[in-house]
Amino acid sequence: MTMHSREYPGVGDTLWSGKLDNGLSIYVVPRPGFQKKTAFAAVNYGGAMRNFTLDGRLVETPAGVAHFLEHKMFDLPEGNALNIFSERGAEANAYTGGDMTAYYFECDELFDENLELLLRLVTTPHFTEESVAKEQGIIGQEILMTEDDPSFVLYNATMGALFDHHPVRESVAGTVESIAGITPQTLYDCHKAFYVPANMALCVVGDVDPEHVAEMAERLTVREYVNPAVPDYGEREGLEPIEKKAVSYMDVSDPMFIAAAKLNTAMPDGDEALRLTTVGELAARCLLGQSSEFYTSLYAEGLLRGDFFRDVSRLAGTLLFECGGSSAQPEQVFERLCETLNAAAKKGVDPAAFERARRAEYGVSLRALNSPGSICASLASCRFGGYGFYEGFDLLPAVTIDEINAFIREYLAPERLTLSLIMPK
């Protein structure tokens, strides 16, 4: 396989990319002279992909199986992969989101040996009744701990208020009851369905030879192309939230809140998805960023604090808007948010605020290039979305204020919002 390079002089990076005959996408960003090397093996499979068709039969899996599988993939016939990485001086870990599972390591030395282990890790399922039963106890304890985490509870309550039946409404980790139904066969089915090269991306950043990385991947993965399973999220949902308000009570010092909306429940692929997401991020920054009138006025009044966030992002076939933080008067913040959205829909955003937001978004994206792990995660996520990561830097200057205003009018209507609260007991 031949790797192809493309320079991005605006950000100072060169991206080497290629695809093996088996469908594995490979991305390498060389960083000559850098000591640390990062490799990231991502699978287009996450906690929301519970139902799918495999070998002509419908497979329905319990909530939490993708996360459970992530844990068990570190079990190799010769021992635990995390221990082997550690013995070689590498820092390794993994995580599972709603629509992606990622395994990664960072190292200064023995890169080839660690990359070989990473590729073996994701392509070698090894599950036994005993090891699965043991893991059910471990993950069960993890789940119980997250149920005491206000941020975790708040996020899941928000998804439950937004969605009626889409699996993102359930925790990626599942419940103690749901993971009790996971068997070795469940894990083998899910691995066979999704852990195929055509459904994966290998991303590397560091002082490495791109052709050598590709050669190793070609040698260490299967040669034949296998179609991945297609997840079934169920019938498309409407854009109105299921509940306008969700309230939980926990031991917190101050109320916590998230205001969220379903912007799209049938996300497009490719450049259209990139543009829609980019415009949405810019619109949210214009209206709610730290230099916005909304934030500065509420911060001055003591209604918002430095933990306030806002985000527009893809998740398992949807596009979501979220903002939140802590506030002594979260419902008052929500009222002001609705007023801000209504005013922007009528008058549009201020041109000066738009330009500030555009420059700020570019700067944040540029700073993220200092993190090899962030680059790898973004390359994989964009690959699964059908568009390029670095192309986003070219798109930002091309977005117009008219697009921002149209997005606000079409997608950020207050009636689409739900308010989720964690109140002190």
> For residue range 225-255, what is the model confidence (pLDDT) as tens digits?
999 999 999 999 999 999 999 999 999 999 9
21, 126: one domain: yes
144, 268: one domain: no
Distance from C-alpha of 383 to C-alpha of 200, rounded to nearest angstrom: 9
* CB-based contact 76:343 (threshold 8 Å): no
* CB-based contact 313:284 (threshold 8 Å): no
38, 143: one domain: yes
* CB-based contact 262:412 (threshold 8 Å): no
**Which residues have C-beta within 8 Å of that of residue 379, sequence separation ≥ 6?**
15, 27, 29, 40, 201, 203, 389
pLDDT at 419: 98
pLDDT at 55: 79
19, 107: one domain: yes
Distance from C-alpha of 258 to C-alpha of 240, rounded to nearest angstrom: 16
Residue 237 lies in a domain: no
pLDDT digits (tens, 9 = 90+) for 48-82: 999 998 878 888 999 999 999 999 999 999 899 99
Distance from C-alpha of 169 to C-alpha of 156, rounded to nearest angstrom: 7
* CB-based contact 352:278 (threshold 8 Å): no
Number of Cβ within a 10 Å radius of residue 36: 14
* CB-based contact 187:281 (threshold 8 Å): no
pLDDT at 373: 97
Provide Rg for the chain, Cα atoms: 22
Which pair of structure tokens corresponds to residue 226? Answer: 């296998």
In this predicted structure, the answer to whether residue 110 has a pLDDT above a threshold of 80 is yes
Distance of CA 158 to the CA centre of its chain: 17
Q: Looking at residues 328-356, what average pLDDT do you find?
A: 96
Distance from C-alpha of 62 to C-alpha of 175, rounded to nearest angstrom: 9
Distance from C-alpha of 350 to C-alpha of 353, rounded to nearest angstrom: 5
Backbone angles phi, psi at 15, to 5 degrees: -105, 125
Q: Across all residues in the chain, what is the average pLDDT?
A: 96
181, 282: one domain: no
pLDDT digits (tens, 9 = 90+) for 140-181: 999 999 989 999 999 999 999 999 999 999 999 999 999 999
Q: Looking at residues 316-329, what average pLDDT do you find?
A: 96
Residues in the chain: 425
70, 202: one domain: yes
Residue 281 lies in a domain: yes
Residue 227 lies in a domain: no
Q: Is 333 exposed, middle or buried (0-12, 13-18, 19+ CB in 10 A)?
A: buried
289, 210: one domain: no
pLDDT digits (tens, 9 = 90+) for 347-396: 999 999 999 999 999 999 999 999 999 999 999 999 999 999 999 999 99
> How many structural domains is the chain composed of?
2
pLDDT at 374: 97
Among the options 70, 135, 281, 361, which is catalytic?
Answer: 70
Task: Kindly indicate the confidence band of residue 313, based on its pLDDT and cuts at 50, 70 and 90.
Answer: very high
Residue 163 lies in a domain: yes
Please give the biggest Cα pair distance in the chain: 64
Which pair of structure tokens corresponds to residue 424? Answer: 């002190």
First to last CA, the chain: 60
32, 148: one domain: yes
70 is catalytic: yes
pLDDT at 10: 87
pLDDT at 360: 95
pLDDT digits (tens, 9 = 90+) for 187-216: 999 999 999 999 999 999 999 999 999 999
181, 321: one domain: no
Question: Where on the phi/psi map is residue 316: left (φ > 0), alpha (ψ -120 to 50), or beta?
Answer: left
168, 316: one domain: no
Residue 236 lies in a domain: no
- 395: domain range? 245-424
Residue 22 lies in a domain: yes
212, 337: one domain: no
Distance from C-alpha of 272 to C-alpha of 275, rounded to nearest angstrom: 5
Residue 77 lies in a domain: yes
* CB-based contact 313:261 (threshold 8 Å): no
131, 268: one domain: no
- Tracing tokens 């829909």 back to the chain, one arrives at 345
Residue 232 lies in a domain: no
Kindly report the CATH number assigned to the domain that includes residue 333: 3.30.830.10
Distance from C-alpha of 160 to C-alpha of 213, rounded to nearest angstrom: 42
